[in-house]
Amino acid sequence: MKFMTGEWFKAAEMDLMTIEEIKDNEHLTTIIAFHAQQCIEKVFKAVIEEYDLGEHRIHSLIKLRAVIANILPLPFDEDTLGLINQLYIESRYPGDLGLLPTGRPTCKQAKVFYTTAQQIYDDVKQFFENNPQGE
């Protein structure tokens, strides 16, 4: 695994660690949601880095997923990924962070976002372990 690929994974893991610390606080669902989106984005960018798929300074999980689709033959819940994708915004105000178009994520949604991010992180990490690229 390339050094920068590993750095993307470390950053994604920190997002998961943040969620783990706050996951039971019903007042922090927006922060949980935001870090879930960030984790998935970083994992997808790790794949892009490892396979030299170019520089992608985008935040859309849907677009990033399309970039890596031919490399990463893992199934993802596209509906949940689409919902999580709506969480990223160019935040200008603190209250905007981690909001869905319908407002603050529910506790149930935050849990789904967390488990989805954790699953994607684990699946991609396992994929890398089973398919080493070498340096």
If one counts every other C-beta atom within 10 angstroms of the C-beta of residue 23, the result is: 18
CATH number of 3-129: 1.20.120.330
Q: What φ, ψ does residue 115 adopt, rounded to 5°?
A: -65, -35
Residue 25 clears pLDDT 90, i.e. is over it: yes
Residue 60 clears pLDDT 70, i.e. is over it: yes
The whole model's pTM is what? 0.89
Residue 91 clears pLDDT 70, i.e. is over it: no
Residue range 107-114: mean pLDDT, rounded = 94
pLDDT score of 46:
96
Higher pLDDT, 123 or 85: 123
**Rg over CA atoms, the chain:** 15
Residue range 72-77: mean pLDDT, rounded = 82
Task: Measure Cα distances from 131 to 71, 73, 75, 91, 126 in Å.
Answer: 11, 12, 17, 37, 8
Instruction: Indicate the domain borders of the chain.
Output: 3-129
Residue 102 clears pLDDT 80, i.e. is over it: no
